């Protein structure tokens, strides 16, 4: 950082603290006589010797000091650890890309160990020329690289009847965003020659669950990717190595991992994952089927149960917003539980069906707050309040809970998961 920039930043912090009535950021004063061995003005121990050699970590891992930033599970959530979910630590992530090691996981039968040499993708059914592709075949097609989120539609599902999970990691962590590389499914479908009668595809995985989903042909021919790479390297086993579907903006469940088979048919298959699961029980007891799109959603991540406030004064309120229908248009934030709203700014890339980061410069006066964010996407859809969502959906749902999240900030700086209706 140049000196000029550094000075203007200090100036900015000074101004911010003036606005907040003199409450300073907590940077300690220069030359404070703390006498901590590794702290200025002392020369730290790690400057007195050489460090680890190059090659000591051929595949790099995070600093040991970051070892608490990991995927976490909720033991009571599923009956078996092989049919379970681990959540991304959203409170600790920056930017919009989820490190592959921290991508949430959802497995219906654990993570299979698939050999790329023996694995194949078979495409058959209502087509002119059924084909079996090996991994080298797939790599020869023109590839696409796109940043897309994957969200399980059960994200937030534990919160329908009341606040339950005292952590952002668990209220919203079935959500991750990666840069995916692979072949457009439409390219492969052109290769097999889709028959006119084909209206649906079945995508099936090579795990013990043989998890499958029916997807309408319009979506299959639109933006779906048969992905083999994630964030610049081959897809991780947990994410579907060696290939998975990335079905942008739709229920994560439809992004079939360890993809082995695509069948073209004239009607949906009505599989387990689209009848007993991933349907929405409505207030009258009927069930909604095929609610594919992950509607616009957002959450404040910089201030949350895992990130309490230590000081009054300046804070950059940050969070993420996303929409399965396209780009995020804007995000508003509220500090009074949705009575008044202020426009946040969007920073970095604003992409289709990707996480989008928002930011709002704020001075905390030390009083209790009800903090919320509300996303609007490019279709004009506005993220609903919990009350609005419950008015339509009742209390019996699990999936597609995209209502506004409330964080209750107390005067001590502690943050609790709260609900406003």
Contact positions vs Mo ion (CB under 5 A)? 106, 152, 252-253
Asked if 106 is part of the footprint of ligand MTE (rule: CB under 6 A), the reply reads yes
Query: Restricting to residues 216-255, which ones interact with ligand MTE according to CB under 6 A?
Result: 238-239, 252-253, 255
For residues 207 and 280, which CB has a smaller minimum distance to ligand MTE in the complex? Answer: 207
**Interface size with ligand MTE, residues (CB under 6 A):** 21
What tokens were used for 14?
């000074």
For residues 155 and 181, which CB has a smaller minimum distance to Mo ion in the complex? Answer: 155
Q: Please tell me the distance from the alpha carbon of residue 119 to that of residue 237, in angstroms, as a whole number.
A: 13
**What is each CA distance from 417 to 163, 170, 291, 298, in whole angstroms?**
6, 11, 27, 15
Asked if 257 is part of the footprint of ligand MTE (rule: CB under 6 A), the reply reads yes
Q: Please tell me the distance from the alpha carbon of residue 339 to that of residue 18, in angstroms, as a whole number.
A: 27
In 305-355 the beta strands, taken as DSSP E runs, fall at: 313-322, 328-334, 342-343, 345-347
Q: Of 71, 91, 108, 315, which one interacts with ligand MTE (CB under 6 A)?
A: 108
Q: Please tell me the distance from the alpha carbon of residue 131 to that of residue 37, in angstroms, as a whole number.
A: 67
Q: Of 104, 292, 314, 362, which one interacts with ligand MTE (CB under 6 A)?
A: 104
Q: Are 156 and 167 in contact (CB under 8 A)?
A: no
Phi, psi of 4 (to 5 degrees): -60, -45
Residue 199 interacting partner from ligand MTE, Mo ion, none (CB closer than 5 to 8 Å by kind):
none
In 159-231 the beta strands, taken as DSSP E runs, fall at: 175-184, 200-205, 212-216, 225-230
Q: Please tell me the distance from the alpha carbon of residue 220 to that of residue 254, in angstroms, as a whole number.
A: 11
Query: Restricting to residues 133-162, which ones interact with ligand MTE according to CB under 6 A?
Result: 150, 152
Q: Please tell me the distance from the alpha carbon of residue 76 to that of residue 169, in angstroms, as a whole number.
A: 16
Mask 55-74, x = binds ligand MTE (CB under 6 A)?
--------------------
**Minimum distance between the CB of residue 87 and Mo ion, rounded to whole angstroms?**
12
Residue 353 interacting partner from ligand MTE, Mo ion, none (CB closer than 5 to 8 Å by kind):
none
**Minimum distance between the CB of residue 321 and ligand MTE, rounded to whole angstroms?**
19
For residues 178 and 405, which CB has a smaller minimum distance to ligand MTE in the complex? Answer: 178
Q: Of 107, 172, 357, 374, which one interacts with ligand MTE (CB under 6 A)?
A: 107
H helix runs in 328-393, sequence order: 386-393
Report the interface residues with ligand MTE, using CB under 6 A.
103-108, 150, 152, 176, 205, 207, 209, 211, 238-239, 252-253, 255-258
């Amino acid at each position: 950082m140049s000196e000029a920039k550094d000075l203007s930043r200090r100036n900015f912090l000074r101004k911010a603290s003036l606005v907040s009535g003199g409450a300073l950021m907590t940077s300690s004063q220069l030359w404070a006589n703390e006498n901590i061995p590794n702290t200025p003005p002392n020369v730290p121990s790690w400057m007195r010797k050489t460090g680890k050699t190059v090659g000591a970590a051929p595949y790099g891992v995070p600093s040991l000091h970051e070892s608490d930033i990991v995927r976490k599970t909720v033991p009571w959530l599923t009956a078996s650890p092989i049919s379970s979910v681990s959540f991304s630590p959203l409170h600790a992530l920056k930017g919009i890309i989820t490190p592959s090691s921290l991508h949430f996981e959802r497995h219906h039968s654990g993570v299979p160990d698939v050999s790329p040499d023996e694995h194949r993708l078979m495409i058959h059914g209502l087509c002119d020329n059924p084909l079996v592709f090996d991994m080298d075949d797939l790599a020869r097609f023109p590839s696409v690289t796109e940043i897309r989120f994957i969200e399980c539609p059960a994200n937030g599902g534990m919160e329908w009847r009341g606040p339950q999970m005292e952590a952002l990691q668990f209220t919203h962590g079935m959500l991750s965003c990666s840069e995916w590389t692979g072949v457009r499914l439409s390219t492969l479908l052109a290769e097999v020659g889709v028959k006119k009668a084909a209206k649906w595809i079945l995508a099936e995985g090579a795990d013990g669950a043989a998890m499958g989903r029916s997807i309408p042909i319009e979506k299959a021919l639109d933006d779906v990717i048969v992905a083999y790479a994630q964030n610049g390297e081959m897809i991780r086993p947990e994410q579907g190595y060696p290939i998975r579907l990335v079905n942008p903006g739709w229920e994560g469940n439809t992004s079939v991992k360890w993809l082995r088979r695509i069948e073209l048919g004239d009607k949906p298959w009505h599989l387990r994952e689209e009848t007993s699961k991933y349907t929405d029980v409505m207030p009258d007891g009927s069930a909604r089927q095929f609610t594919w799109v992950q509607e616009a959603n957002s959450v404040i991540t910089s201030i949350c149960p895992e990130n309490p406030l230590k000081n009054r004064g300046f804070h950059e309120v940050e969070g993420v917003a996303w929409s399965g229908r396209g780009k995020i248009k804007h995000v508003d934030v509220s500090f009074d539980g949705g009575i008044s709203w202020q426009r946040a700014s969007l920073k970095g890339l604003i992409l289709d069906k990707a996480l989008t980061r928002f930011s709002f410069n704020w001075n905390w006066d030390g009083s209790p707050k009800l903090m919320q964010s509300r996303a609007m996407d490019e279709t004009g859809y506005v993220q609903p309040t919990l009350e609005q969502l419950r008015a339509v959906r009742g209390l019996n749902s699990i999936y597609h809970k995209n209502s506004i999240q409330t964080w209750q900030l107390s005067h001590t700086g502690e943050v609790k998961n709260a609900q406003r209706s």
